Amino acid sequence: MQGQIEDLDRRIERLGEYIDEHQSGWDLTQLKTALDLHSTLISRVARARQVQDRLTEGGQDEIEALINDVLDELSEEWGIEL
């Protein structure tokens, strides 16, 4: 998992550099799309680090409980059994 996180870190850095280099030629919609993607990647890396920390600390039960809570919420929202 650490390798995947490091890969995402590199991609985030490259995307940030790409945005910095090209933003002057973009309209607001293009800039918003790029920044949304950048923000989403940062959020996913943060979540991946949290999961990694919990797994390292032996918090597997906590993760399973979290997954079950999310599945329960989605089941209720979508009206299907997950």
Range of the domain at 43: 2-78
Express each pLDDT in 27-51 by its tens digit.
999 999 999 999 988 988 898 888 8
Q: Which two tokens stand for residue 18?
A: 């790409």
Torsional sign, CA 25, 27, 33, 35: positive
Distance CA 52, CA 12 (A): 19
Report yes or no: 6 and 28 within 8 Å, Cβ to Cβ. Answer: no
Express each pLDDT in 48-75 by its tens digit.
888 888 777 666 666 677 777 888 887 8
**Full-model pTM:** 0.61
Task: Give me the number of domains the chain comprises.
Answer: 1
Burial label, 20 (beta-carbon count in 10 A; 0-12, 13-18, 19+): exposed
